[in-house]
Amino acid sequence: MALQRADRVAFILKGYPRLSETFIAQEIAALERRGLEILIVSLRHPTERRTHPVHAEIRAPLLYLPEYLYREPGRVLRAWRAVRHWPTYREARSVWLRDLVRDPTPNRVRRFGQAMVLARELPDDVGHLHVHFLHTPGSVTRYAAILRGLAWSASAHAKDIWTTPEWEKREKLESCAWLVTCTETNREHLAALAPPGRVELVYHGLDLKRFPARAGQRPPRDGRDANDPVVILSVGRLVEKKGNDVLLEALARLPAALHWRLVHVGGGPLARRLARRATALGIAERIAWRGALAQVEVLAEYRAADLFALASRIARDGDRDGLPNVLVEAQSQGIACVATTVSAIPELIRHAVTGMLVAPESPDQLARALEALITDPVRRHALGEAGRARVSAEFALEVNLDRLARKFGLGRATERGAEFAAE
């Protein structure tokens, strides 16, 4: 079901802007270039001072909802006083109360409060709601859509799929007009819970204008020169599902005579624990923890690296990666990648053709794969070039955006969109 191109669309996000969600920002910017009028609604204020260049290109106005209801009681009360008289209020409250019985948490209460504020403050020219992430933002969007009598749609990604109860996924999939998700693994799972034709695969795609191919070949480092070690890069939040502890264990298993250094980009709650583990393993002096970086800085790290590693795993709460965008970014720069077979990563990396795949939770396998590529710059180059070619052909933004644009009633880039991009 596609929209009729008319009204503005509200994009509901958990937080905006966020350094770790470049894929959402590039999607919004690309849809604006095609002429879609957008309002960004955020459940949370930003927690990072830095932004990516793409955020400066986005023209959509911002509406921040109360992050915690007790901090803006007047705003919440005004919303309730208004919406409780609407004919849709009884249905929305009934749906929320049914959810609350099954999920009696403060977060569930907050979702309805945010939904009432959104419903009251939503501009009249917004004719459709679209949410990124099916869990908390999806609930706020569903309740607000009922209150306003609007259709809603969703983009589902990773944690929001695998940590949401099945009953909730089924009911949201029944309620929404359509849903897109970024991996075939996700699509199969959600399609089994949804009405026929409700769920569609749309890869995020990478804006290759922001990630142009690296000029020239990388130095043929092979780990023998202590003064010129092989640079291994890993990018991702320091959280359980990224398997950074497994990567550290694998690096500690490499031969002592092999010279390498690890550069890690990304912040997260496990930063101190992982730094202590690196010290205990005796490899701390070989690691540079860069923290969260803006996109231009991350691109520079991709171009300086010889090898990319990501040890994704399924976390204890079920959370897992979908198809990590950092792997697509790394391959766009011709870097040989070593990753695990978790979730949809094999949809991108073809083992021994466009990269190397190992089992999750296996530091020994990961160490062997890393050692093989550290010592073989010719093979690294071949895998990197094969990965770059596949990303260009199948994972470029515009190729995949066409399918999403049609959902919003858009065609290919319009004259207006071209002018927009040129300004």
Residue 3 confidence (pLDDT) = 55
CATH 3.40.50.2000 residue spans of the chain: 8-205+397-422, 230-394
**Nearest Cα to Cα of residue 59 among 35, 34, 29, 31:** 29
Residue 416 confidence (pLDDT) = 40
Whole-number Å distance between alpha carbons of 75 and 91: 22
Whole-number Å distance between alpha carbons of 358 and 340: 5
Packed helices 166-175 and 89-102: angle between N→C axes, nearest 10 degrees? 160
Q: How many residues are present in the chain? A: 423
Residue 220 confidence (pLDDT) = 96
Residue 398 confidence (pLDDT) = 82
Residue 421 confidence (pLDDT) = 37
144-162: string of b/e by CB count within 10 Å (b at 16+)? bbbbbebbbbbbbbbbbbb
Q: For domain 230-394, say whether CATH 2.40.50.140 is its number.
A: no
Whole-number Å distance between alpha carbons of 365 and 357: 9
Residue 413 confidence (pLDDT) = 53
Report the SS3 class of residue 337: strand
How far is C-alpha 407 from the geometric centre of its chain's CA atoms?
Answer: 20
CATH of 8-205+397-422, one of 3.40.50.300, 3.40.50.1820, 3.90.550.10, 3.40.50.2000: 3.40.50.2000
Q: Measured between alpha carbons, how far is residue 250 from residues 226, 300, 310, 311 in Å?
A: 20, 25, 11, 10
pLDDT digits (tens, 9 = 90+) for 49-101: 888 888 999 999 999 999 999 999 999 999 999 999 999 999 999 999 999 99
Whole-number Å distance between alpha carbons of 262 and 249: 13
Residue 423 confidence (pLDDT) = 36
Residue 238 confidence (pLDDT) = 97
Residue 254 confidence (pLDDT) = 98
Do residues 287 and 262 make contact, with C-beta atoms less than 8 angstroms apart?
Answer: yes
Consecutive sets of 10 residues in the chain, 423 residues long: mean pLDDT of each?
67 92 91 96 91 91 97 97 98 98 97 98 97 97 98 94 95 98 93 97 88 92 97 97 98 97 97 98 98 92 98 93 92 97 94 98 98 98 97 88 91 46 36
Strand order in the sheet with 178-181: 62-64, 38-42, 8-13, 126-132, 152-156, 178-181, 199-201
Whole-number Å distance between alpha carbons of 252 and 232: 13
**Nearest Cα to Cα of residue 132 among 268, 23, 7:** 23
